[in-house]
Chain A
Amino acid sequence: KAGVTQTPRYLIKTRGQQVTLSCSPISGHRSVSWYQQTPGQGLQFLFEYFSETQRNKGNFPGRFSGRQFSNSRSEMNVSTLELGDSALYLCASSLVGLGGGPEEQYFGPGTRLTVT
C-alpha cells in the first residue's frame, strides 16, 4: 500500500505571497491532520479533517487554512507569508476507529517551505 504523499517537497516563497501544499493520504484513510515542525517550536498541530470537515484546529492564526476533498486528499493554504512560517509541514493520515476517534497516524515526508 502506498504511503502518505506530499507535494511539493520543497518550496521557496517571498514574504506576503501565499502557498498551497497538497497531501494524499493512505488509501482508505479518511482522517488527515497537518503539523508544522520548526527548530524552535518543535512539532505543532495545525488542524484535522475528516469527511471534508475540519474537526479540530490548533493554535494558529487564520492565515493558515485547509480543506479536504471527497477522495480524502487534503490541501493547506498559508496566506500573507511571514518569515516565521518557514518550516517543515507534515501531513498525517489515519483510519477512524469505531468510537469516531483516530487510530495511529502515518506521516508523509513533508514539504519544506522557505520564506525569504
Chain B
Amino acid sequence: GNSVTQMEGPVTLSEEAFLTINCTYTATGYPSLFWYVQYPGEGLQLLLKATKADDKGSNKGFEATYRKETTSFHLEKGSVQVSDSAVYFCALNMYSGGGADGLTFGKGTHLIIQP
C-alpha cells in the first residue's frame, strides 16, 4: 500500500535558521504530494502541493520539490520565524478512478522555533 515517512521530531531551531523536514513516500503509481500544517487546537491547513515529477510547490516562504527518482518531497524554508512553530504533515493522494483513496499522511513533525 501507499505510505509516507517523515522525521517526527520535535525539531527545535532558532529564529532565522534554515529548515529542512524530510519526507519520502511509497506509492504504486504517481501520487499528488502535499504539505499540511496544524497549529495547536486547529485543523490542518494546506501549505503547498505538487502534482507531478519536478513540480515545485511554494507558499509563505516554504518550498518543496517532487522528486520521483528519490521518491521524496522535502520541505524547506530559508529563514524560520517563531510563528512557524506547528506540526507539519507530509501527505500523498492517489486517484484510482473509483473515487478518492483519501490522503495518506506521515506521522507529523513537531517544529519548535525559539526566539
Contact = CB atoms under 8 A, between A and B. Distances in A.
Whether chain B is bound by chain A comes out as: yes
Interface residues of A, number: 29
B43 A56 contact: no
Nearest to B45: A107
Interface string B14-55: 000000000000000000101010000011111001000000
Interface stretch (A63-71, A72-80, A96-104): A96-104
Contacts of B103: 33, 35, 43, 45, 92, 105
Interface of B: 32, 34, 36, 42-46, 49, 89, 91, 93, 95, 97-108
Contacts of A55: 98-100
A56 B102 contact: yes
30 contacts: A4-B43, A33-B103, A42-B105, A42-B106, A43-B44, A43-B91, A43-B103, A43-B105, A45-B103, A45-B104, A48-B99, A50-B99, A50-B100, A55-B100, A56-B99, A56-B101, A58-B102, A90-B44, A92-B44, A100-B97, A102-B100, A104-B49, A105-B103, A106-B46, A107-B44, A107-B46, A108-B43, A109-B43, A110-B42, A110-B43
A31 interface: yes
Given A92-B103, A100-B97, 12 more contacts: A33-B103, A43-B44, A43-B89, A50-B100, A56-B98, A58-B102, A100-B95, A104-B49, A105-B103, A107-B44, A107-B46, A109-B43
B43 A90 contact: yes
B115 to A, nearest CB: 28
A94 B91 CA distance: 15
Contacts of A109: 42-43
Contacts of A47: 102
Nearest to B93: A102
Contacts of B89: 43
Given A100-B97, A102-B95, A104-B49, A45 B43 contact: no
Contacts of A50: 99-100
Contacts of A44: 105
A18 to B, nearest CB: 23
